[in-house]
Amino acid sequence: MNIKIIAVGKLKEKYTKEAIDEFKKRLGAYCSLSVVEIPAQEIKDDNLAQKYMEIEGEKILSAIKPDAYVVTLEILGKMLSSEEFAQKIKDLSNEGHNEIVFVIGGANGLSKAVSDRANFKLSFSKMTFTHQLIRIFLYEQIYRAFKIINNENYHR
């Protein structure tokens, strides 16, 4: 299984980099993982936020293969338990999807074009989190999903 994470913005804090590096290392036993960081557009004028989001969206879409299964992280997406998330990944693999792409938008969210490209819209919560933290949550939940799928001791 190939997993790609496309995220707008770079990791800035040392603790987020360390946490994600740890999960990347752990995930190596279960999947091929790649990460694409899209540079965040610097917002100098709030009136142009929509335009910046569309620019980021074009860059996101250019990093997605036509046959990839795309999961966007959106506040209005569907919330899943860890077990349901694991089952989703297992089902996608069984259906022959070779690549799952997870997309984390920028500070202004995702463009309509990116949201429309999604095969599945996932929400971790109705709360808003920093993009740094949501990236850690995503890596951890992907790792947890593979542990559940393989009936390995991690998830309780």
pLDDT in tens, 101-140: 999 998 888 999 999 999 999 999 999 888 899 999 999 9
Distance CA 110, CA 101 (A): 14
CA 150 to CA 108: how far, in whole Å? 37
Q: How far apart are CA 6 and CA 118, in angstroms?
A: 13
Domain 2-149 has CATH 3.40.1280.10: yes
Question: What is the pTM (predicted TM-score) of this model?
Answer: 0.95
Domain extents in the chain: 2-149
